[in-house]
Structure 1
Amino acid sequence: MNDLIQPGHDQRLASLRQITLVVYILYALSFFAGLTALVGIIINYIKRDEVRGTLYESHFDWQIRTFWWGLAWAVLGAITIWVLVGFVILAANFVWVIYRVVRGFLNWNDGKPMPTST
């Protein structure tokens, strides 16, 4: 990682750390105002190249997967709600997204990367 010898490395990492936190907050707020998740995913894709090779790359990958899989399960749940299984899918998705946001925040807070296979 050439980042270690570049001037301003600490400032860059601090900025990326804050952006990662902002996205976790936006995803958490999406339970109250769904559009915040869209802002979060846009930030993820705009800043994705900047986090490459840092601890926050795994967080961005985690956040992006959380958004897309959460959206996919929400759509499936909404489509199948009329046969009642949709309620179960939506409830499970709700719990899963909360888990992902909380686990991501805790790893972010501890300065740990996110696992790549979960």
Structure 2
Amino acid sequence: MNDNDTQLAQAADSSQGGPGKDSLKTVAMVVYALEAVGYFVGITAVVGVIIAHIKIGEARGTWLESHFRWQIRTFWYSLLWGIVGVVLLAVMIGYLVLLGVLVWSIYRVAKGWLRLIDGKAMYTAT
């Protein structure tokens, strides 16, 4: 391997978060899966957000950090608006709020999962 090949390999590693980030990518994929299963078995979403909170420190400064942040925000905002929706069930608007939360959170899990598969960070213009 010549110097040019080495430089290209290093550039590719740094653009994808460096060597050893495959395990973090796998963890992020597992968290998305846990969030998706959480629509049927709620406790898995809780496990997923705990994992995301633990792993975000390891991902600091990489493109994967944005995925863990996306997952954490998806969980907490879904929980917050889910509680608001349950409270508003008394005045019937709660059903609309809960439907909105469901659609929004499914969108976020799907978008995050697809961008993770493509090796793209969240919060970018592309």
Provide TM-score, normalisation by structure 2: 0.83
Which of 24, 39, 47 is 1:31 aligned to?
A: 39
The answer for the alignment partner of 2:55 in structure 1 is 47
Letter in 2 for 1:79: V
The amino acid of 1:113's aligned partner reads A
Is the aligned partner of 1:94 residue 2:102? yes
Provide the residue aligned with 2:10 in structure 1. none
User: For residues 57 and 101 of structure 1, what CA distance do their matches in structure 2 show?
Assistant: 15
Structure 2 residue identity aligned to 1:87: Y
Structure 2 residues not aligned, in runs of 5+ = 1-12
Name the SS of the counterpart of 1:80 in structure 2: helix
Q: Relative to structure 1, is the Cα distance of residues 86 and 45 closer, same or farther in structure 2, using a 3 angstrom cutoff?
A: same
Letter of the structure 2 residue corresponding to residue 92 of structure 1: G
Return the alpha-carbon distance in structure 1 between the equivalents of residues 39 and 25 of structure 2. 23
Q: Distance in 2 between matches of 1:92 and 1:116?
A: 24
* Counterpart residue identity of residue 27, structure 2: I
- Contact 1:58–1:116 (CA under 8 A) maintained in structure 2: no
Deviation, 1:23, is: 0.2
% identical aligned pairs: 46
Give the 3 Å change call, closer, same or farther, for CA 112–89 of structure 1 in structure 2.
same
Instruction: Please name the residue that 1:110 is paired with.
Output: 118
Q: Deviations over 1:56-114 (max 9, x none)?
A: 00001100110110000000000110110000000000000000000000100110000
Q: Which residue of 1 aligns with 2:7?
A: none
Shift in Å, 1:116 = 6.6
How many residues align? The count is 110
Q: 1:70 maps to what in 2?
A: 78
Structure with more contact order per residue of length (Cα contacts < 8 Å, sep ≥ 6): 1
TM, length-normalised to structure 1: 0.88
Give the 4+ runs in structure 1 shifted more than 3 A. Answer: none
Query: Do residues 58 (structure 1) and 66 (structure 2) align?
Result: yes
